[in-house]
Amino acid sequence: MAVVERDNQGSCAILRLNRPEALNALNAEVLHALGEAIDTVARDEAVRALIITGAGPKAFCAGADIKEFIAQSPLAMKERAELGQSTFARLGRLNVPSIAAINGFAFGGGFELALACTFRVALASAKMGLPEVKLGLLPGFGGTQRLPRLIGEARALELIMSGRFIDAAEADKFGLVNRVASEDVVSAAIAFAGEFTGFSLSSQSLARAAVERGASVSLDEGLRIEAELFGLVSSSEDAAEGCAAFVEKRAAVFKDR
């Protein structure tokens, strides 16, 4: 049985963490399999969005497999953190957006996986958090870096230092999730993806790059980046098609180039 399963629904690729007996915990095998699965999605030109979820009714992903941490050296733990970080970083390099369909518990490394996705759709009953402090640890798969960028330093430190869990309603209030689903969170994620999968991937990719590159620089530098990428995208075939379609009052047919 594969620890990460893939299927496609329309233009969406769906990756499912498949260790329900362990609440889809992230051991080394899962991290390697997830990285390989993300790479296969990157090579699939038919895919317009990636959705990641968990198998079973309880958990998206309950975090890292703590049993693998016992009696490990500091170097081994650093390497484990780097494995998780490099696996999740693949999501940021995808040409298509990624959506975490949070169908239950998303704790520790599981929450960090959701944070690494472009968007998050959560079941109303889902619980999220970074409880590493309760184990005498700290988040190691990107949580200390991505969470402050999403909700601000003060709120991020509160969640990290207290280890408390939040529900989907509070996550929505913080701006952590894009949609809250009452049932069938994967279907909700597919519907959410449908709001942007019909547009040009090249323009969306450059728009994401403008936001991400601009987030860590001054406003003046960010505006320079935006102008540079605006000039670049304006030379694309999709830009020509989109503008022509607007003038001709017809639907654009984008080719992602």
Q: How many residues does the chain have?
A: 257
C-beta separation of 90 from 51 below 8 A: no
Q: Is 221 a catalytic residue?
A: no
H-helix or E-strand spanning residue 197? none
Active site residue 132: yes
Strand order in the sheet with 165-167: 59-61, 105-107, 127-129, 165-167
Options 132, 158, 237, 248, the catalytic residue? 132
Q: Strands of 98-102's sheet, edge to edge? A: 4-9, 12-17, 49-54, 98-102, 119-123, 179-181
- Determine contact, residues 129/161, Cβ cutoff 8 Å: no
Hey, what amino acid is at 103? N
Structure tokens at 201: 């991937």
Integer Cα distance of 59 and 74 in angstroms: 29
> Catalytic residue among 5, 45, 82, 112, which?
112
Amino acid at 6: R
Max CA separation in the chain (angstroms)? 67
Q: Which residues of 221-255 are buried (b: 16+ CB within 10 A; e: fewer)?
A: ebeebbeebeeebeebebbebbeeeeeeeeebebe
Helix axes 143-151, 109-116, angle to 10 degrees: 50
Tokens of 147: 């969470």
Q: How far, in Å, CA of 42 to CA of 95, rounded?
A: 7
By annotation, the residues acting in catalysis are 112, 132
